[in-house]
Structures are given as C-alpha cells and as structure tokens.
C-alpha cells in the first residue's frame, strides 16, 4: 500500500517524501511539475498529472493501491493570489475537491492536508492557538480556509479522517544537502536574502520598517522543513492509529524579526549586505507566532532542526551547491 503525495516534487513535499522513504513507506508522487522539480523526487514513483482533471486523479487511484494521501500541491504566493484569485481557487480549492472525490470513490479515508498560518489572517492573540478565529485576508489564505471548512463535513458524512497542518514559515534545507528550496520566482525572505548575498538577486529589499515591533520589521516563526516533514509522518501514524481528525499548528513558537534573520544570515555566511528598505508588502501582518502546544502534546512532535542558525546554515549550503 502506498502513500500518495500530491506536490511531492515541491519544497515541503519533497522533504516529506524523503522522510517517508527513510521509514520504508511506498510513495507515489503526483505532481504537474508546474512549480515542482523532477530532480527533487529522490525515490518512489512520479506521476506527472494535474489535479484539476478529475479523470487524471481517478487514474492514479486505479493504478496504485493507496492507503493515505498527503496533499501538498497548491499555489502559495500571497501577492499573486491578490492579482489572480481565480487561479488560486482553481488550483487550491477545485483540485482539492477532485482529490477528495477520487479518494472517496477509491475508499481511501486518510488525508494529511497542508494548511497555512494564512488561515488566521490578522491575529488578535499571540501566540496563535488552533482555536483562534479564522479570518484569512488574502485569496491564498481563503483557499486553504475553504478546504479546512469542507473537511469536517466529509468526516461526518463519509468518515474521511484528516489532519490539517497549519504551517508557519517553512525554511531551511535538507541537512544532507540533497534537497532545498527552489521557487521561481523566489519570494521568501531567507532564500531571497541568501541569493542577494551571492549576487544572484540584485533587487533585495526589507519590506516595511514601521511595524509595531522592537526594530520596526515584521516578526515570523521560522520552522525547519525537515522538522515539518517529520511532523507529517507523525500525523500519518497518529491518524492511522487513532482515527481522529484534528488541526495542528506547526511552528517553532519563537519569533524573529526580518532584521534578526538578516543579521543571523550575515553571521552564518560571513558576508555583509547594505540594506534597502521598501514599503510594506500588501497583506503582511506585523507578527505571526504559533502556539506549538498541540503539536507537542497531542502529536508528540519535537523540533530538532529549527534553531535559526541551523536553518540558515542548511539553506546556505543548498544555495551554494545549487
Ligand atoms: N520579506 C522581506 N524581503 C523579501 C521577502 C520577504 O522583507 O525579499 C519579509 C516579508 O515582508 C515578511 C517576512 O520577510 O515580513 C517573511 O516573508 P516570507 O515571504 O518569507 O513569508 P510570509 O510570512 O510572507 O509567508 C509565509 C508563507 C506563506 C503564508 C504566510 C502566512 O510563505 O505561504 O506565511 O501568512 F501564506
């Protein structure tokens, strides 16, 4: 029996596939390779197909014996989602509905869903617990919220058991150097700044210096991608053993400002940068910080790699070799 991993050729998906293979799971990656990369799939089977086609999704369930699904495939650029919301609802919402339909037809009732801190919108309480109100402020976050809203209905009516994992800021790269963050275009802080230090990104700016934080730049909760990957395997095992649906934040519960990240990156790389400041990016909130209590107590998750220096060391190693 295999685990079907949609988006397994992407950043978090490929790191999770590696973790699954290490634990001897059979893996089938389903990816249209629009933003994923064949080179990041280091094992298992790769099916190049598109979730927006229900027939293509059905086909994979006919061809492989699937025991559970991890659903990473999605578009994830907040800015782009403002400019082209339809694209986000088609890729993130309609694709998810197709996947759920094909799962039910095939009798597959276990799902790990990639959600996001973006479902919370502007937080009213820090750290953010899972019972915080969900008020997404951009189409990307809304598309994740809508799938989360649908899942309990499918549980009640069809017995579909799921765990939605709400990621905070995924960062870093495989400590063994095989995998890393590879987006085109890149929008995230750590890779953008490392590319700038390498002279490969002339346009780096700090977005906003007037946030209500100690140094005026936005605070985020960075979590190592290998720790995220391990949480997915724990969630899968928990789902199989307990058959209970759940929603879990995945963050480090430690916040760093953009300037703190930059200073740490300068220290790790031994390179200095002269910084340019630009206006705030639309939709950026001042502080995002997870409560990890449920991940620790319910899931039994321990973060091993999420020290900011280690995150940046592994990302730097990937950027130097890639
Ligand atoms: N930033 C810069 N310069 C850059 C890139 C980012 O200053 O070149 C700043 C951003 O404005 C933000 C912080 O660095 O304050 C972190 O930005 P990222 O783009 O790395 O991450 P976000 O917090 O914007 O986004 C992450 C996920 C999204 C998710 C969101 C939840 O990547 O998928 O959290 O709100 F939607």
pLDDT, average across residues 106-122? 98
Q: Whose CA is nearest to atom 21 of ligand 1?
A: 188
| Structure-token match 């309480």, residue found | 125
Instruction: Quote the ligand 1 centre to 266 CA distance (angstroms).
Output: 19
Instruction: Quote the ligand 1 centre to 306 CA distance (angstroms).
Output: 17
Task: Give the pLDDT confidence of 89-111 residue by residue, as tens digits.
Answer: 999 999 999 999 999 999 999 99
Predicted TM-score (pTM) of the model is 0.97
Q: Are 228 and 15 in contact (CB under 8 A)?
A: yes
The radius of gyration computed from the CA coordinates of the chain, to the nearest angstrom, equals 19
Task: Give the pLDDT confidence of 128-176 residue by residue, as tens digits.
Answer: 999 999 999 999 999 999 999 999 999 999 999 999 999 999 999 999 9
Task: Give the pLDDT confidence of 275-306 residue by residue, as tens digits.
Answer: 999 999 988 999 999 999 999 999 999 999 98
How high does pLDDT run on average in the chain?
97
Q: What is the pLDDT of residue 179?
A: 98
Ligand 1 atom nearest the C-alpha of 77 is 33
78 CB within 6 A, ligand 1: yes
Cβ-based neighbour number of residue 85 at 10 Å: 15
Sheet with 45-48: strands ordered across: 45-48, 26-31, 2-6, 66-71, 110-116, 161-167, 246-250
304 SS3 class: coil
Q: Known catalytic residue: 222?
A: no
302 SS3 class: coil
Q: Whose CA is nearest to atom 6 of ligand 1?
A: 189
pLDDT band at residue 192 using 50, 70 and 90 as cut-offs: very high
- For residue 307, what are the contacts with CB-CB under 8 A and spacing of at least 6? none
Please report, to the nearest 10 degrees, the dihedral formed by the alpha carbons of residues 264, 12, 87, 285 taken in order.
Answer: -30
Instruction: Quote the ligand 1 centre to 77 CA distance (angstroms).
Output: 9
Task: Give the pLDDT confidence of 30-40 residue by residue, as tens digits.
Answer: 999 999 999 99
Q: Which of 116, 168, 185, 281 to mutate to test the pocket of ligand 1 (most atoms within 8 A of CB)?
A: 281
Q: Are 264 and 130 in contact (CB under 8 A)?
A: no
171 CB within 6 A, ligand 1: no
Q: What is the pLDDT of residue 283?
A: 83
218 CB within 6 A, ligand 1: yes
322 CB within 6 A, ligand 1: no
Task: Give the pLDDT confidence of 12-58 residue by residue, as tens digits.
Answer: 999 999 999 999 999 999 999 999 999 999 999 999 999 999 999 99
Instruction: Quote the ligand 1 centre to 45 CA distance (angstroms).
Output: 32
Q: Which of 221, 258, 285, 289 to mutate to test the pocket of ligand 1 (most atoms within 8 A of CB)?
A: 258
Q: What is the pLDDT of residue 282?
A: 87
Instruction: Quote the ligand 1 centre to 245 CA distance (angstroms).
Output: 29
pLDDT, average across residues 70-77? 97
Q: What is the pLDDT of residue 203?
A: 86
285 vs 210: CA distance, rounded Å? 12
pLDDT band at residue 211 using 50, 70 and 90 as cut-offs: very high
Instruction: Quote the ligand 1 centre to 301 CA distance (angstroms).
Output: 24
169 CB within 6 A, ligand 1: yes
Q: pLDDT exceeding 90 applies to what percent of the chain?
A: 97
Q: Is the predicted pLDDT of residue 265 greater than 90, yes or no?
A: yes
Sign of CA dihedral 19, 20, 21, 22: positive
């Amino acid at each position: 029996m295999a685990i079907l991993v949609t988006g397994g050729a992407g950043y978090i998906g490929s790191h999770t596939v590696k973790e699954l293979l290490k634990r001897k799971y059979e893996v089938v990656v389903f990816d249209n390779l629009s933003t994923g990369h064949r080179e990041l799939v280091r094992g298992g089977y790769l099916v190049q197909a598109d979730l927006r086609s229900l027939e293509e999704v059905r086909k994979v369930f006919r061809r492989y014996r699937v025991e559970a699904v991890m659903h990473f495939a999605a578009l994830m650029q907040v800015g782009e989602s403002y400019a082209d919301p339809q694209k986000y609802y088609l890729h993130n919402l309609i694709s998810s509905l197709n996947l759920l339909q094909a799962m039910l037809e095939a009798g597959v009732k276990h799902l790990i869903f990639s959600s996001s801190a973006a479902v919370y919108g502007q937080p009213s309480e820090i750290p953010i617990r899972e019972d915080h109100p969900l008020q997404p402020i951009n189409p990307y976050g809304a598309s994740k919220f809508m799938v989360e809203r649908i899942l309990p209905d499918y549980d009640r009516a069809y017995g579909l058991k799921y765990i939605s994992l709400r990621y905070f800021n995924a960062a870093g790269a495989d400590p063994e150097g095989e995998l890393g963050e590879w987006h085109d275009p890149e929008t995230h802080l750590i890779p953008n700044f490392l590319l700038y230090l390498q002279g490969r990104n002339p346009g780096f700016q700090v977005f906003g210096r007037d946030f209500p934080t100690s140094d005026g730049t936005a605070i985020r909760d960075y979590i190592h991608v290998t720790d995220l990957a391990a949480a997915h395997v724990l969630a899968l095992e928990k789902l199989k053993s307990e058959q209970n649906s759940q929603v879990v934040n995945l963050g480090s519960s430690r916040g760093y400002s953009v300037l703190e990240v930059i200073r740490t990156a300068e220290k790790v790389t031994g390179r200095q940068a002269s910084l340019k400041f630009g206006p705030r990016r639309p939709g950026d909130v001042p502080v995002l910080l997870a409560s990890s209590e449920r991940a620790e107590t319910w899931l039994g998750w321990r973060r091993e790699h999420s020290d900011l220096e280690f995150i940046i060391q592994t990302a730097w190693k990937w950027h130097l070799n890639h």
